[in-house]
Amino acid sequence: MNLDELYQEVILDHYKRPRGAGLREPFEGESHQVNPTCGDEITLRVHVEGDKVADVSYENVGCSISKASASVLYELVKDTTVDDALARLAEFTALMNSKGQSEGDEETLEDAVAFAGVSKYPMRVKCALLGWMAFKDALVRAEASIPGRTDA
Amino acid sequence: MEPASKLDVETIRADFPILQRMIGDKPLAYLDSAATSQKPVQVVEAMRHFTEQSNANISRSVHTLGSEATEAYEGARAKIAAFIGAPSPDEVVFTKNSTEAINLVAYAFQNAAFDPGADPRLKLGPGDEIVVTEMEHHANLIPWQQLAHRTGATLKWIGITDHGRLDLESVPEVITERCKIVSFTHVANLLGTVNPTSQITARAREVGALVGLDASQSVPHIPVDVTELGVDFIAFTGHKMLGPTGIGVLWAKADLLDAMPPFLTGGSMIKTVTMERTTFADAPAKFEAGTPPIAEAVGLAAAVDYLDKLGMANIRAHEKELAGYMLEQLETVDGLTVIGPRVPIGRSATVSFTFEGVHPHDVGQILDAEGIAVRVGHHCAKPTCDRFGVNATTRASGYVYNTHEEIDRLVEALGQVRKVFG
């Protein structure tokens, strides 16, 4: 078992110095997600301006994988369009479900490709996806709360 | 050098082929027996032999195999009754696991609520109280919590001290004249606390309440005699005591089993059946609807034979010594905090801890890379975690086959954790 593959420098760095952590106003959608097997939790807020993800803010308790993943998520989707954010979500989810068969596209996923190794550890995939599930849910709630947006 | 154990651990280990397994290039150190124990060849062989030679359904066939199977199944019941000091094998009900055994009792109360003729001991309603403790596994919390919600009764609990013991001073206050049932853990699965039972059972008797034990973590590890304990029921499970998964046990006093309405209904639990109504068989058959886990009962009987041969008092002594060594060694690790009693008195060889700044999932992952299997998470005891202000813990638990060397490897690997996350 190669631990370096799982705990890449990039992941440990995001874990020790999480980007964008803390809950902020304003926000249109908020989601609370729990991993019932380990008790990890995240509360994540999304602030949408027009078709842009203007901010993602969060508070979480959990392991290095789940915390680093939320930090990477923040960097990837903040200030992108909602459509691009959803594309990253789909791409990251696919990478996590790849069972070690995919390396991920560094062009689009940037630091998140460091999580490719996690996909070989079925028990940890849920950790990596917790923040992304919260993001997806918060985005749906945000879209629902914005009048005139029904395409999401 | 290891101090003399009452168990010949090396000989025991030879009976468990899985302990020879390599995890990557590291030998397995299995420190997760509180979750499930490993099975000796004797158990596997007994089940294989039964399945290959005597497999048949029980209680309904006159053919040779049917009678052999029935004999094996009922023989297992008698063996388990003797193992826990039960006055009669008819007081032993086979279930799927501890969870089902406890639900069986909780649902007896619930079903009694609909029956005007039910035994008054089982009648629950608003104003009545159910008492558990704050250190329960969810299996002995949620069935009672849900029963309280459905009947309007109130759920109360005995708290935990900072040292990880039950707050026994509060017992007279928590268990009142309104209490109908007290169900508490004998040995706590997260904290490792071995609870003294006499004060709680005496108080339950005083107020006329039924009293039961979740014995999932005690029957595998310490001598348990239900007559001595003076309780009305206990629940335990096969897979934590060297037996197979899929079989558990409810022991209850005969008069209580007689009074309890059945939980699951269907085949094998009846006396007479018409399209309109059914009369039920006597216990234990009344509580064993459907084809039971027959090969598993055979396996559990073999596990009991194995434990009997080692001697439960010897097992207890071995684990007490192991607990002492584990606590002593873990306390030397920088940043490690034991959650639960820190002395090996009134304690099992199950030790939970937190590691400053490192999440238990990460601890468990790095230990796994060293071949060390521990449990991480909330251990189905979220209220206990909340009580100690933690989200999760890492838990190492020992059994008959564990050695000091494995504890040493655990401690050394924790240093590795510090290196990665330091």
Smallest Cβ distance to A7: which of B359, B368, B420? Answer: B420
Q: What is the pLDDT of residue A77?
A: 95
The domain B46-308: what is its CATH number?
3.40.640.10
- Mean pLDDT in residue range B364-369: 94
Q: Do A119 and A125 touch, CB atoms closer than 8 A?
A: yes
- Nearest CB partner across the interface for A3, out of B360, B369, B377: B369
Confidence band (pLDDT; 50, 70, 90) for B1? very low
Contacts of B381 (CB under 8 A, 6+ apart): B135, B136, B137, B138, B188, B189, B190
What is the average per-residue pLDDT within B336-345? 96
Where are the domains positioned within chain A? 3-145
Q: Does the B9-39+312-421 domain belong in CATH 3.90.1150.10? A: yes
Across the A:B interface, residue pairs with CB atoms under 8 Å apart total 52
B105-135 confidence digits (pLDDT tens): 999 999 998 899 999 999 999 999 999 999 9
**Of B2-16, B317-331, B376-390, B392-406, minimum mean pLDDT range:** B2-16
Are A39 and B362 within 8 A, CB to CB?
A: no
The CA distance from A126 to the nearest CA of chain B, in Å, is 12
Report the interhelical angle of A122-145 vs B360-369 (nearest 10°). Answer: 150
Q: What are the chain A neighbours of B385 within 8 Å (beta carbons)?
A: 39
Contact B391 A39 (CB under 8 A): yes
To the nearest whole angstrom, how far is the Cα of B134 from the nearest Cα of chain A? 18
Chain A residue whose CA is closest to B390: A39
Which residues of A touch chain B, with CB atoms under 8 Å apart?
1, 3, 6-7, 12, 37-41, 61-65, 67, 121, 124, 127
Architecture of domain A3-145: Alpha-Beta Complex (3.90)
CA distance A15 to chain B (A): 10
- Interface contact B369-A7, CB threshold 8 A: no
B32 Cα to chain A: minimum distance (Å)? 16
Chain B residues in contact with A65 by the CB 8 A cut-off are 361-362
**What are the two backbone dihedrals, phi and then psi, of residue B271, each rounded to the nearest 5 degrees?**
-100, -60
Percent of chain B with pLDDT over 90: 94
B1 vs B16 pLDDT, higher one? B16
Rounded percentage of chain B residues whose pLDDT exceeds 70: 99
| Domain residue ranges of chain B, discontinuous segments joined by + | 9-39+312-421, 46-308
How high is the pLDDT of residue A40?
Answer: 87
Q: State the smallest CA–CA distance between residue B116 and chain A in angstroms.
A: 40
Active site residue: B168, B369, B380, B390, which one? B380
Q: Which of A6, A40, A62 sits opposite B365 (nearest CB)?
A: A6
CB B420 to CB A38 under 8 A?
no
- Mind listing the pLDDT tens digit for each residue in B310-325? 999 999 999 999 999 9
- Output the tens digit of pLDDT for each of chain A's 152 residues: 577 778 888 999 999 999 999 999 999 999 999 988 777 899 999 999 999 999 999 999 999 999 999 999 999 999 999 999 999 999 999 999 999 888 888 889 888 899 999 999 988 999 999 999 999 999 999 988 876 555 44
Q: Among all residues of chain A, which has the CA nearest to that of B422?
A: A16
Range among A34-38, B60-64, B96-100, B356-360 rated most confident: B96-100
CB pair distance less than 8 Å for A61 and B365: no
Asked if the Cβ–Cβ distance from A12 to B421 is below 8 Å, we say yes
Phi first, then psi: what are they for A31, rounded to 5°? -140, 140
Task: State whether A12 and B365 contact (CB < 8 Å).
Answer: no
Residue B3 confidence class, pLDDT cut points 50, 70, 90: low
Q: Give the model's pLDDT for residue B358.
A: 93
Known catalytic residue at B385: no
pLDDT tens-digit series, residues B191-242: 999 999 999 999 999 999 999 999 999 999 999 999 999 999 999 999 999 9
Q: Is A39 in Cβ contact with B392 (below 8 Å)? A: yes
ipTM above 0.90, yes or no: no
DSSP letter at A121 equals: -
- Contact state of A61 with B362 under an 8 Å Cβ cutoff: no
List of chain B residues whose C-beta atoms are within 8 Å of the C-beta of residue A3: 365-366, 369, 420
Distance from the B364 Cα atom to the nearest Cα atom in chain A, whole angstroms = 11
* B361 to A41: CB separation less than 8 angstroms, yes or no: no
